[in-house]
Structure 1
Amino acid sequence: MLATPWICRSCIRALAKPRSSPLAFFRRASTDASASLPPALLQRARKLRAEHDQLEVSQSENFDPKTARRIGELSSVVSALSDWEAAQSSVTELTTLLSSPDAELRQLASEELSTTQTQLSTLSRQLSVSLTPKDPFAHMPCLLEIRPGPGGLESRFFADSVFKMYKQYCAYMGYRAVALKYEMADGAGSASTSAGEEPLQEAVLEIKDAGAYGLFRGEAGMHRVQRVPDTERSGRTHTSAVAVWVLPSFPDSHEAAGGGGGDMNVDDPASDFYLDPAELRIETMRARGAGGQHVNKTESAIRMTHLPTGTVVSMQDSRQQSRNREDAWKLMRSRVALLRREAREEQAARLRDNVLAKHKITRGDKIRTYNYSQDRCTDHRSGVDVHNLPDVLVGGESLHRIVDSARTWLATSDIAAMMAEEESKAAAAEGGQAARKSKK
């Protein structure tokens, strides 16, 4: 054989000679790459590809918008699976060449195999991501609800900092943000901190850009602060917490929602955002607290109760009752939509508990710590530490790094949850088959 400085992949395969026992090499080279894609996941991908192919056939005969939307949803899985199978096939072929008697061919195959295995690992991750069910609200705008948690007045002060932090972060990201509600605590008087923090009772920040929910959904949870309050004379560090809720927001127009189909139609009883007026109790009352002349004189405040769930929303920030009513409807739709989604996911969550119990995040968990004395912000899920607290609190690049790490953690958790669910289904199916065989 002539010495050549380079041989293309196709030429290498063409020169391959069948060997009597390539399996040992195959096991050694490809096991690690394949291990990242469990059989249950691969089976799910192939089922979805079969569904995609069947839908394309039916669509060619009779066009249907819903079918077209489903085909679009499955196309990423089909593409990722095709790429993964091609890489897996290349690994198998190149591994066979490692047993070639030609030393130069073995070296070329070894080099190509290393690159292909790296590609296969990346493609395994991409296929897993494509198989993960997308959050149905990810493309929508969102509402951030911020309330003080344990810690008394100090938690109210920090709640104000968290509200301002997210508002400035929206400006940093180029998002449009509007305060729907910004209510001070009763009885706090004119108390404030040296940093200009006010004793916040509750705030609702509306982020109007499509995709905002997908960006901010990882911010939901308890945010813990460790610092020395202005009123602490002995210099002792106090710990308090602030609760943050992230809700999908139905936008003012369908286009602003980034699409979404009929399930986003507020007039459709099948939509998560639909509210039956007969199930709502709406009360008007006088606004309370410090403010202009309308306070305690006009009934501009609105309190809305969703009777089936007991969800209560109150709005009084605007002097116009019509504006408060509109904002109350918006917040109520978001809260009820999230409750309906959570109810549907309870069964799936139970299937995942055995795998994700120690990682599962609830509203009572402390997801993040802001430590003033150490100039540190730590996300307890992703494990990312940032030692630039001032930049975090003004919504700068340091906060973006934290938020992005939480998004990555959520994506990884979603993949693990989906894998656990598929494995649970596969185990249940195997158990059912074994039971039927034993009866025979």
Structure 2
Amino acid sequence: MVKFLSISIVLQQQPRANPTLGPTDTPSPPTLPPALLSRARALSAEYTALRAALEHDFSPASARRMGDLASIATALQQWEDARAALAELQGLLQSADAELRSMAQDEMQATQTQLDQQTLKLTQALTPKHPFAAMPCLIEFRPGPGGMEGRFFADSLFRMYKQYLANKGVGVRVVKYETSDSAGDAVGADGELPLQEAILEVAHEGAYDMLRGEAGMHRVQRIPATESKGRTHTSAVAVWVLPAFPEADALAGEDSWDNPESDFYLNAEEVRVEVMRARGAGGQHVNKTESAVRLTHVPTGTVVAIQDSRSQQRNKEAAWRLLRSRVAQQRREIREEQAYALRNSVLAKDKMTRSDKIRTYNYGQDRCTDHRSGLDVHNLPNVLEGGEMLDRLVESVREWLVARDIRAMMADEEAKAAAEKAGEKKGGK
């Protein structure tokens, strides 16, 4: 059974009607938390004002803002309609006409369900989208604790996500794939290579939102091919999911790398550029041309090195893309840390960092467990082949993230309402 905190559970704290109403029962219609309802009405009023203003004077910025608010305004209207319908039925339950009371009773459950659905829809519409949600992404793989077994499992995860995206018809490109020079010809139990580091680029729009929940420490428990006594070993792999730096001609506004306000902006004077000869397996160009590129963002200490292409220019372009993506993610995480610190009393248990163990792959039990959503699935080979079981895990985490975001939004709105109320009391003295 999935144990994650679903969106419906988040909203269950609010009062709601009893589904087994008697002929004279008149429960109050369920409501959104007051802070969320106030926010919805304020944003809907802004939408109406923008629509009226645009009829007289068109503004691209206002049009974009109105488009962002349209789903909230529509969802609020549908919620108000459903709530009014339920209130009307509750009034009919008090009627002296037995036939009207019976009709109202028959329709009560369906109307209640409709209101619950509209409450959920409005809450989702109010939840702010992740600022990088619509972007493509980069997936990085690095072995963690566990020695050679960790390197082999890193290759397993690299193959798993590559196949998973292929199964979904999403194109990927291998930006970087480096194996360990010290491993020799060693291979894992399933033919894995000792991966040192790998990067996949997923150019699909919205890939970051689809895969951002996969970032974290992935733990494996299995018997290595080299284990003679049959003992189970535990190792781990770090997976990063970063928003991919957009092409220059696709950038605008806040996402522009020329815009100092953009998360992707880098001051070239703060980046140290080094070129060197490529190393390791790779053909005749290795160690003969300075095609490898290493960039260091001095303020953050972020370093990237690319040597996959024979062309120094291509390696440099790839390195700049990766560096911008890593720095942008760091800047985003700093803001998230600050936001979580402000509401840590409400959300401390829901905060996820990259160092957390997010998923365990247990070969002996043929089981994969996600430690955030609580979902257990069996048929581990299907998971590692990027099949239906992996899709279930990914979707369960996406639902968990949405529920967490809703709680964060509710905490923010309640904190604002409390601050405003405290200010009113102070001003009234």
Q: TM-score, normalised by structure 2?
A: 0.91
Deviations 1:16-45 (A, max 9, x none): xxxxxxxx944x252xx32xx211110111
CA spacing shift, 1:253–1:278, aligned 2, 3 Å: closer
1:32-431 correspondence runs (5 A): 33-34=30-31, 37-252=32-247, 261-431=252-422
Deviations 1:326-359 (A, max 9, x none): 1101101111111222233333222332222112
Q: Which residue of 2 aligns with 1:7?
A: none
Deviations 1:204-241 (A, max 9, x none): 10011111111111101111111111111221111111
**3-state SS of 2:175 partner:** strand
**3-state SS of 1:336 partner:** helix
Which ranges in structure 2 are unaligned for 5 or more consecutive residues?
A: 1-23
Structure 1 Cα separation of the partners of residues 53 and 265 of structure 2? 32
Deviation at 1:156, TM superposition (A): 0.9
Deviations 1:33-74 (A, max 9, x none): 32xx21111011111112212222332232111110000000
Deviation at 1:261, TM superposition (A): 4.3
Structure 2 Cα separation of the partners of residues 426 and 275 of structure 1? 38
Compare relative contact order (CA 8 Å, sep 6+) and give the higher one, 1 or 2.
2
Which ranges in structure 1 are unaligned for 5 or more consecutive residues?
A: 1-23
**3-state SS of 2:39 partner:** helix
After superposing the two structures, state which structure 1 stretch, 69-78 or 150-159, moved more: 150-159
Structure 1 Cα separation of the partners of residues 353 and 324 of structure 2? 22
Structure 1 Cα separation of the partners of residues 229 and 425 of structure 2? 68
Matched letter for residue 237 of structure 2: V
Structure 2 Cα separation of the partners of residues 367 and 111 of structure 1? 46
**3-state SS of 2:288 partner:** coil
Matched letter for residue 256 of structure 2: N
Deviation at 1:386, TM superposition (A): 1.3
**3-state SS of 2:219 partner:** strand
Matched letter for residue 45 of structure 1: A
Count of aligned residue pairs for this structure pair = 406
Deviations 1:239-292 (A, max 9, x none): 11111111111233756xxxx742222223332222221121110111122332
Structure 2 Cα separation of the partners of residues 98 and 364 of structure 1? 56
Matched letter for residue 268 of structure 1: N
Deviations 1:95-132 (A, max 9, x none): 11111222221111012121111111111111110001
Matched letter for residue 69 of structure 2: L
Structure 2 Cα separation of the partners of residues 381 and 91 of structure 1? 36
Deviations 1:392-419 (A, max 9, x none): 1011111111111111111111111111
Structure 2 Cα separation of the partners of residues 422 and 168 of structure 1? 41
Contact 1:25 1:96 in 2 (8 A): no
Matched letter for residue 65 of structure 1: P
Structure 2 Cα separation of the partners of residues 98 and 202 of structure 1? 67
Contact 1:169 1:394 in 2 (8 A): yes
After superposing the two structures, state which structure 1 stretch, 350-359 or 418-427, moved more: 350-359
**3-state SS of 1:298 partner:** coil
Deviations 1:127-182 (A, max 9, x none): 11000111121111100011111111111110010001011111001111011011
Structure 2 Cα separation of the partners of residues 350 and 193 of structure 1? 43
Deviations 1:355-409 (A, max 9, x none): 2211211111111111101111111111222111111101111111111111111
**3-state SS of 1:63 partner:** coil
Contact 1:224 1:370 in 2 (8 A): yes
Structure 1 Cα separation of the partners of residues 325 and 224 of structure 2? 35
Matched letter for residue 165 of structure 2: C
Percent identity over the alignment is 61
Contact 1:351 1:420 in 2 (8 A): no
**3-state SS of 1:87 partner:** helix
**3-state SS of 2:343 partner:** helix
Structure 2 Cα separation of the partners of residues 399 and 345 of structure 1? 27
Cα RMSD (Å): 1.6
Structure 2 Cα separation of the partners of residues 280 and 317 of structure 1? 21
Matched letter for residue 178 of structure 2: E
Structure 2 Cα separation of the partners of residues 139 and 367 of structure 1? 24
